[in-house]
Amino acid sequence: MKTALALLLLGLTLVAQSAEAGAAKDQRMAWFREARFGMFIHWGLYAIPAGTWQGKEISGTGEWIMRNGKITPADYEPLREQWNPVKFDAKAWAKVAKAAGMKYVVITTKHHDGFALFDSAVSDWDVGSTPNKTDIMMEIATAFRAEGLRIGWYHSILDWHHPDYLPRRDVDKRPASEADFDRFVVYLKAQLQEILTRYGTIDMLWFDGEWESSWNRERGWDLYNHCRALSPSTIINNRVGGGRNDMQGLDKGAGFAGDFGTPEQEIPSGGLPGVDWESCMTMNNTWGWRSDDKNWKSVEELVHNLVDCASKGGNYLLNVGPTPEGEIPQPSVERLAAMGQWMDRNSASIRGTTVGPFLKPLPYGRCTARKTENGIRLYVHVFDWPVDGKLLLSGLQATPQGAHLLVGGTPVGVAISADGVRLAVPKVCPDALDTVVVLDCVGTVSVKRWHAAPAADGSVLLPAAEAELHGSLRHENSGTSIGFWTNAKDTLSWPLRVEKAGRYSVEVELAVDPSHGGGEYAVALGVGRITAKPETTGAWNQWRTDVIGTLELSAGEHELTVSIVTKPHAAVMNVRRIVLKPLP
Ligand code: FHN
């Protein structure tokens, strides 16, 4: 009897926790879900060398120069005397972020080099010991709040400088026997108390550097609880306890600590269903300033990343790496201003939206959504404007009430069809970056998964537009082809139905630029598998149909998958469609 009662009490406690966690967490996460777009700032002593050390270029991202340059703490410390960001202007930074449409900032209070951008009472490895004692955290908190942005602190657990941090780097000859990691955790908690209690309400803690053997899930929960006790409303990422790749989160209680996921330099192809998440990405290739990194992403790519994240229910945390003088690099400023012009016109399609209803990304763009009084509003983001003015929302089952362009309100034709909902848009593309079409629907909407069905002659057409893409490969040419197949692990697939068992020839319409020949791919269907080595076709947009073999198919449901076998260059091929033709 006692056991049953104990189990009942435990169950009720867990339910209460999860129920409380659900409601309380929703309240804490509300601003994050509304924001969708934030500024990441990586700034510190590493901006001074800017990727070069003692005249030698050091590979890797700017903020890793101490490690990658094999620099000892003693040799790195003189940078402290060089810290003098005379051009630092937090107000200017905050205006750049606000104008871009960003709603929060996350700045490095301390990166892996252990140097604190605030004057710490427990360390002199901080700005308080430099020629320029400006308390960066105070400036940032004041200026960004004044622009209406929320405040996030990045804080690294990994610390290459502190004598108690373990494990030691190979170049660090300080005896590890003198280190006491528990004493380091006391120091870590003391600094967290400083940055959580000195600067008003901090909305987000962004932990990092959690992957080393000295850290673990339990220490993560302990640190999470320490911070939540100091600042109950603060949301904390899933790197606090090593859960970076395992979104257990608080809701499930038994997993890693953390309130949201943190995919890095990527946008998960299917999002992270059921949890909050944020993709952090650089604008070039480095987080911390490198004077030689000119590889800036285009405004188009940056806007499309933002839309892609929102369409999958996530946020986009876009990084800037200020110079040692304290300026955001001009190419970053220009790109953020351009993003802001798009956001000024289209933020309703991003801010506070949720995942769209589609089971896979639209081949010509993305879809975000928001509930309305009597149904749902879909924001159809068109990256690739149709020359014929026709757009298919494949598989959409809905009761359309009307459609119009978000910017300017031009009416858009809507028709229900056997294969979904069709839109008739103006022939001339209104916004080359991303034109948003609003489709208002009454009641609920759903989407039927597309299935290839045999034509009258028994052949089965698998068009690029209906392919399910797994990885970072993507549609091009208004969805009529698939390209950017640069990751050998990426695949594409189609579900299909075969009415009549038999032998089918497999025909692949593809393009291979001469600079990328020599690859091999495989087509798997049912129990069969065919491999093929596509000859070059002359260019990425010169198409050829290869008959690569035959497969025996039983009647019924199948999944055809195309994968990469060998990839000697960046990409193997682009694909426009696959056709299965029944053999007599
Ligand atoms: O090592 C860091 C890196 O320097 C940078 O801060 C990124 C940003 O998320 N986080 C770590 C790598 O995952």
Where do the domains of the chain lie?
37-349, 354-447, 460-582
Q: What does the block give as tokens for 248?
A: 């257990």
For the chain, the average pLDDT equals 93
Ligand 1 atom with the smallest distance to the CA of 64 is 4
- H runs (alpha helix) in 36-180: 65-68, 73-76, 90-100, 136-146
Q: Tokens 């896979």 label which residue? A: 360
| Rounded mean pLDDT, 121-131 | 98
Regarding beta strands 278-281 and 315-320, do their DSSP bridges make them parallel or antiparallel, or are they unpaired? parallel
Which atom from ligand 1 is nearest to the alpha carbon of 319?
8
| Residue 63 Cβ contacting ligand 1 at under 6 Å | yes
Of 10-14, 191-195, 396-400, 452-456, give the lowest mean pLDDT range.
10-14
Q: Could you tell me the two tokens for 200? A: 């008003």
Q: How far apart are CA 342 and CA 327, in angstroms?
A: 24
Average pLDDT over residues 111-122: 98
pLDDT of 443 higher than 80: yes
pLDDT (tens digit per residue) in 152-178: 999 999 999 999 999 999 999 999 999
Dig out the tokens for 217 from the structure: 């899930």
Is the CB of residue 543 less than 8 Å from the CB of residue 489? no
pLDDT tens across 535-569, in order? Answer: 999 999 999 999 999 999 998 899 999 999 999 99
Confidence of residue 7 (pLDDT cuts 50, 70, 90): low
Three state DSSP letters for 372-390: ECCEEEEEEEECCCCCCCE
Would the CB of 105 count as within 6 Å of ligand 1?
no
Distance 206 CA to ligand 1 centre (A): 11
Q: Is the CB of 280 under 6 A from ligand 1?
A: yes
Q: What is the mean pLDDT of residues 75-83?
A: 98
pLDDT, one tens digit per residue, over 329-375 is 999 999 999 999 999 999 999 999 999 999 999 999 999 999 999 99
Tell me what pLDDT residue 92 has.
98
Strand partners, 415: 422
Mean pLDDT calculated for residue range 467-476: 90
**Mean pLDDT (whole number) for 17-27:** 67
Q: Verify whether ligand 1 is closer than 6 Å to residue 264 (CB atom).
A: yes
**Burial zone of 374 (CB within 10 Å; 0-12 exposed, 13-18 middle, 19+ buried):** exposed
> Which run of H or E residues covers position 301?
helix 299-311
Q: Is the CB of 208 under 6 A from ligand 1?
A: yes
Q: How far away, in angstroms, is 221 Cα from ligand 1 center?
A: 21
Looking at the domain covering 354-447, what would its CATH class be? mainly beta
Q: Which of 106, 208, 266, 317 to mutate to test the pocket of ligand 1 (most atoms within 8 A of CB)?
A: 208
Ligand 1 pocket test target in 64, 264, 279 with most atoms within 8 Å of CB: 264
Q: How far apart are CA 438 and CA 378, in angstroms?
A: 6
Cα–ligand 1 centroid distance for 208 (angstroms): 7
Mean pLDDT, range 300-320, rounded to an integer: 97
Is the torsion defined by CA of 317, 318, 323, 325 positive or negative?
Answer: negative
Sign of the C-alpha dihedral, residues 560, 466, 432, 390?
Answer: positive
Rounded distance between C-alpha atoms, residue 47 and residue 398, angstroms: 53
What is the distance between the alpha carbons of residues 225 and 33, in angstroms, rounded to a whole number? 22
Q: At residue 392, what are phi and psi to the nearest 5 degrees? A: -110, 125
Whether the Cβ atoms of residue 375 and residue 424 lie closer than 8 Å to each other = no
Classify domain 460-582 at the CATH topology level.
Jelly Rolls (2.60.120)
Looking at residue 19, what is its pLDDT? Answer: 38
Instruction: Name the CATH code of domain 37-349 (choices 3.20.20.80, 3.40.50.300, 3.40.50.720, 3.30.70.3270).
Output: 3.20.20.80
